[in-house]
Structure 1
Amino acid sequence: MPDCSENYESEISEGKNLRNVKCKYCTSVILTPSTACFTSFEFQLPLIKQSKISELNPETENVSLFWAVSDMFTFQNVGFSNTVGDNKYLSCADCEAGPIGYHDIPSKISYVALSRVHHC
């Protein structure tokens, strides 16, 4: 396993990601250094692992630290779900783990949750 940081303050340099942002499950690169801006706000993101009972009403968690990406072509390996309300959920394009964040359709900005990825 690579040396990956969970100390988020050390991952921000001049408001951008200092190192590669990788999938926690397969370590595919999602974002290269200095390609995303740090932002903080609260959002209810569905859990990566859902119980069978929660299919119609997915369980969520409150996430508040994100990498913001204004151009979807900035991503290295990200898949976009079908539209759910005003959003599309993001997943790793290689192993399909997710959601690791979401794409806000009205603003055209994608948000990757820092807690759902590794920084290596």
Structure 2
Amino acid sequence: MTEEADFSALIAEGKNNTNVRCQYCNSLMLKAHEGVYSKEEVEVPLMMQKQDRTADSLNTEPLQDFWLVKDMMTFENIGFSNTVDGRKFLVCADCERGPVGYHDLATRHCYLALKRVVHKEA
């Protein structure tokens, strides 16, 4: 179970009201008003994996607040990583840190985790 975060200040009319950037290199990932707020709980691999894990296991955490992007061409800057269980993980295309969300191969929709990015203009 995840802690409840209040992201209401980031949402205007169901969309992101500011630009979305990488928390590490500040690269612009998504412009304001391009993502639709979506709440659903999904297990996403941790950005930093523990050293003692086995080669075929990923340490994950449940995330539940996402920006839904229906067309991957909407992103300003995003990369794709490994595919696991019908999902490709999203990473910053500049610094390759992530995953910051996932791409559902069945629906072709992308989900950018609010907890894994920063929301600011510059």
Match of 1:32 in 2: 31
CA distance in 2, matches of 1:42, 1:70: 18
Q: Measure, in 2, the Cα distance between the counterparts of 1:99 and 1:18.
A: 22
Instruction: Tell me the TM-score normalized by structure 2.
Output: 0.90
Aligned to 1:71: 71
In the alignment, what sits opposite 1:49?
Answer: 48
The equivalent of 1:109 in structure 2 is 109
Q: Equivalent residue for 1:60?
A: 60
Percent identity, aligned pairs only, is 44
Deviation sequence 1:15-37 (CA, Å, 0-9, x none): 00000000000010100010000
SS in 2 for 1:53: coil
Partner residue in 2 for 1:17: 16
Output the CA distance in 2 between the equivalents of 1:53 and 1:74.
Answer: 38
Cα offset for 1:7?
5.3
Structure 1 residue aligned with 2:80: 80
Q: Distance in 2 between matches of 1:114 and 1:92?
A: 14
Moved over 3 A (4+): none
Cα deviation for residue 56 of structure 1 reads 2.0
- Unpaired runs of 5+ residues, structure 1, are 1-5
Question: What secondary structure is seen at the aligned counterpart in 2 of 1:52?
Answer: coil
- 1:1-60 deviation line (CA, Å, top 9, x unaligned): xxxxx8521110000000000000001010001000001010000000002222421100
Question: How many pairs were matched up?
Answer: 115
In structure 1, the partner of 2:97 is 97
Letter in 2 for 1:71: D
The superposition leaves residues 65-114 of structure 1 with CA deviations (integer Å, 9 ceiling, x where unpaired) of 00000000001110012422211000000000000000001011000000
> Hey, what's the Cα distance between the residues in 2 that align with 1:22 and 1:82?
21
Gap runs ≥5 in structure 2: none
Cα distance change of structure 1 residues 114 and 59 upon mapping to structure 2, 3 Å threshold: same
CA RMSD of aligned residues (A): 1.2
